[in-house]
Structure 1
Amino acid sequence: MTAGDRPLDVRAEAPARRHELIFETWASLGAGEGFVLVNDHDPKPLYYQFAAEHAGAFTWDSLEEGPETWRVRIGRTAA
């Protein structure tokens, strides 16, 4: 995590809106930038969606793994 990583806390968002908001945030990143996702459940399905749709273009670094809060740094690669 770098000082420039902004948090994106989706815990208060409606479940149907969460992935849309996360992908919009990721799409707005420049190469090498990232954000810290804060979630109330394991975002493993989100990881698989990123892997299927953006293979090689994202980074995923787990920072905290529950049981109540999950934090993941999601970044955009330079490629």
Structure 2
Amino acid sequence: MSNAIPEIDVRIIPPAQRHPTIFGRLATLTPGSAMHVTSDHDPRPLHYQISSRYPDEFDWEYLAEGPDVWKVQITRVEASGCECCCGH
């Protein structure tokens, strides 16, 4: 069984399908698991979208910052065990 982090290379996906593909994959991530997204530009707009749709649910880390290739790791935050909305 492989522990490889799944990767989406948006450079090979038609623009209209990029964010829906990424959000579909995000929905499958379990707490503590991650995915990589590779792009030919800074995916900052994607980061804003994820942060606004899913506040505090995902961590974002740049692995490569251009100028030709940008790569980020998006990790679903570990659950704290608290079921309320306090964020702890």
Report the TM-score when normalising by structure 2: 0.82
1:27 offset after TM fit, Å? 0.6
Greater share of strand: 1
1:71 offset after TM fit, Å? 0.3
1:4 offset after TM fit, Å? 3.1
Matched, 1:34 2:34: yes
- Partner amino acid, structure 2, of 1:57: E
Deviations 1:3-45 (CA, angstroms, capped at 9, x unpaired): 5312211111111110000111111111100011111111000
2:72 corresponding residue in structure 1: 72
1:20 corresponding residue in structure 2: 20
Pairing 1:34-53 to 2, within 5 Å after superposition: 34-53=34-53
RMSD: 1.0
Larger radius of gyration: 2
SS at the partner of 1:8? strand
Matched, 1:11 2:11: yes
Q: Which runs of 5+ in 1 are unaligned?
A: none
State the percentage of identical aligned residues. 40
Runs (4+) of structure 1 exceeding 3 A deviation are none
Q: Which runs of 5+ in 2 are unaligned?
A: 80-88
Q: Structure 1 CA distance, aligned partners of 2:14 and 2:50?
A: 20
Report the TM-score when normalising by structure 1: 0.91
**Of 3-12 and 56-65, the range deviating more from structure 2:** 3-12
